[in-house]
Structure 1
């Protein structure tokens, strides 16, 4: 490793690159707002969002701004309706991707959801369906499938208070024999 001014280059780079992040949030029964500023050497990136609620209806907007390039990086809008039994959600991302979903709790142990998305300028739609079944108070299984034949399976077990184990798999149904499947293991510890 060559040195520059008595410091190895890799160490010198650590002193040159500086960044900071400012995060603020406000929430009450009717409004939730977030405002994040990412300060790095390329200039600040700003991300803000707000959601308002009234009698089960929810409306939200998210905007991102790159101050270095002086341009909007995100402009997303969402509208939803929620009750104790179901949640209906629609969204528009950057005026290009349109989506909708419905979630319903069918019984105390069974939850289901369906989502649909479409991108402007293409004839491709995305569709998915999923479910969660609580085996008991500490264990649950999850399954999902989408129109690309991606099958997701998961098992979650609370081992004790504050310790949860999750096992998961994502199987490519179109290319089952070619591999490329994913498996996961997570151990969540809460303080």
Structure 2
């Protein structure tokens, strides 16, 4: 018996195929290096093609796998200091505790969250407490023979009210999977599928309907084709006529470039299209 995925990862294969590797509208740079003692340094930069604004952050991560302790700290160009402490299998087997902090020194704005993640065969539970906002969130996924059933509830401790509740069901196998989500207090409905057709081709699709909005259903389908061991292409299109294209190439070990484009096929003669580039360097 295996541990199921987290609630937010139900239908992840379909979601990743339709959303990842499409760096449209900006230019991204990621540099990741690992020191001999295991400390990981990562620098991220992102330039918005429309506004020209550049944002980024520098991150340091150290993991003591023997004692199950991981420390991560980051400093952003917005002068936000983020920290994360992870303790895994320290108090109990299958239990992971996380403390996430954020500080904006210029206005003394603080935030802190405590996550408790518990995994065991057929059950995956995540509980989150927002310390300053006193919001408590818990989600649980149960699995059996590939079938997944999950629920999520957000509760405001001070108000004594349930602020949000969601549900999801799915089925995941090695080469295919389907997922059905009820979000935004069960008013937003989505269904998705993923199919690993063969070693070179993957396909997925997603349909979404907001019962409080328009009566129309938003539909999106996409595919990923592996060209060789170093490159792949992606394509997707929505019923709104927006075509997404992406090409990813590993130039050499540790160097990867990703090109993306978003084309509005209903406005070909207008300036409604977006291009993007992502470069990743890693030792």
Using the TM superposition, give the Cα deviation of residue 67 of structure 1 relative to its aligned residue in structure 2, in angstroms. 4.1
Separation (CA, whole Å) in 2 of partners of 1:109 and 1:17: 48
Say which is worse superposed, 14-23 or 167-176, in terms of deviation.
14-23
- Structure 1, unpaired ranges of 5+: 1-11
After superposition, residues 7-22 of structure 1 pair within 5 angstroms as 14=106, 16-22=108-114
- Structure 2, unpaired ranges of 5+: 1-103
Alignment of 1:107 onto 2:198: yes
Using the TM superposition, give the Cα deviation of residue 174 of structure 1 relative to its aligned residue in structure 2, in angstroms. 1.9
Using the TM superposition, give the Cα deviation of residue 73 of structure 1 relative to its aligned residue in structure 2, in angstroms. 3.4
Separation (CA, whole Å) in 2 of partners of 1:29 and 1:188: 36
Report how many residues are paired. Answer: 178
Instruction: Tell me the SS of whatever aligns to 1:176.
Output: coil
Q: What is aligned with 1:177?
A: 269
Q: Which has the larger radius of gyration?
A: 1
Instruction: Tell me the SS of whatever aligns to 2:162.
Output: strand
Q: What is aligned with 1:117?
A: 208
Using the TM superposition, give the Cα deviation of residue 16 of structure 1 relative to its aligned residue in structure 2, in angstroms. 3.4
After superposition, residues 1-191 of structure 1 pair within 5 angstroms as 14=106, 16-40=108-132, 43-67=133-157, 69-93=159-183, 94-121=185-212, 122-189=214-281
Cα gap change, 1:29/1:171 in structure 2, threshold over 3 Å: closer, same or farther?
A: farther
Which consecutive segments of 4 or more residues in structure 1 shift more than 6 A? Answer: none
Cα gap change, 1:165/1:50 in structure 2, threshold over 3 Å: closer, same or farther?
A: farther
Separation (CA, whole Å) in 1 of partners of 2:160 and 2:275: 41
Cα gap change, 1:173/1:159 in structure 2, threshold over 3 Å: closer, same or farther?
A: same
Aligned CA RMSD, in angstroms, stands at 2.4
TM-score, with normalisation over the residues of structure 2?
A: 0.56
Separation (CA, whole Å) in 2 of partners of 1:15 and 1:117: 39
Using the TM superposition, give the Cα deviation of residue 15 of structure 1 relative to its aligned residue in structure 2, in angstroms. 5.6
Using the TM superposition, give the Cα deviation of residue 26 of structure 1 relative to its aligned residue in structure 2, in angstroms. 2.5
Greater relative CO, 1 or 2 (CA 8 Å, sep 6+): 2
